[in-house]
Amino acid sequence: MAGLLPADLPIVDHHCHLSPTGEGVEAARRFRAAGGTHLFLCTQSYGPSPPRTVEGYREQFEITERLGRRVREETGAVVHLVVAPFPVDLVGQVPTMGRPAAVELHREALQLAGRWVRDRRAVALGEVGRPHFPVDEEVRAAAEEVLREAMRSAREAHCPIVVHSEDLDPPAFRALADLAREEGLGPSQVVKHYARKALSLAERSGLPASYVARQETFDRALEGEAPYFFETDFLDDPGRPGAVLDLGTIPKRARAAYAKDPSVSERLRIPFVESVERVYGVRPEPVGAGP
């Protein structure tokens, strides 16, 4: 295989989704075949509408857990679960349930997610945060309340949060870091998911960035400081094949970079080993060839 990577270098996709109605394990097989070893698997809505009860969110988490178990058993990949009520759910819940009831539902679901972290069934709360598109004032206010609740739940569970939001420039990163400090979280516990522009650690106010692994961003981010990650945000949606990026993208990017310059392997250890250990407290170990 061209650009075969060092055997002791894990290859980590920091953020993806799998669905029982999509490719599921087959997409993970493609990841493994390309050289990938570790997946951070984030829960999502698996039905036509957002949950209306905390039991609905529990069912979502359990579906994600079952998918992760199958990926481990059938491909040999290491899977870390990230669970929480999705913030965009509020767009449908606030108008139909009312803001107080919707916020309370998310608070209860976040407490459940925190228990999953404490029970070592998950490693972080996510995605949490804000809708990435304009919403009315009631939804916006609810999202801000819920984001604070997520930070409190993460503080109690001693874990990071993975933040879904609009693009953040340096002042917005600073505002998010300040908000986290108000709720007792350090900057390294607040990961900006779907970061599209490579910024310095200072420009990110110390927050880890999870960069969408498009080629230009991948190349620029490799020159940066830890902690940061790469992700595909693979959606596993049959209606949008390969969106956002295919699950094989990150191992292919890493192989190509290594083929061009083998010394890049030390730079690749920053997102794939050092950052994971620093933010999540787990050290990705090498994984052999998949089944």
Region 249-271: mean pLDDT is: 96
* Preceding amide of 227 cis, omega within 30: yes
Q: Single out the residue of 208, 184, 202, 185 nearest to residue 276, CA to CA.
A: 208
Region 79-108: mean pLDDT is: 97
Q: Which two tokens stand for residue 37?
A: 């070893």
pLDDT, one tens digit per residue, over 12-27 is 999 999 999 999 999 9
- Taken in order of first residue, the domains within the chain and their CATH numbers are 12-279 (3.20.20.140)
Q: Single out the residue of 212, 214, 230, 222 nearest to residue 268, CA to CA.
A: 222
Predicted pLDDT at 239? 83
- Which helix (H) or strand (E) segment holds residue 93: the answer is helix 90-97
Does residue 111 have a pLDDT over 50? yes
d(CA 132, CA 86): 12
Sign of CA dihedral 232, 228, 181, 60: positive
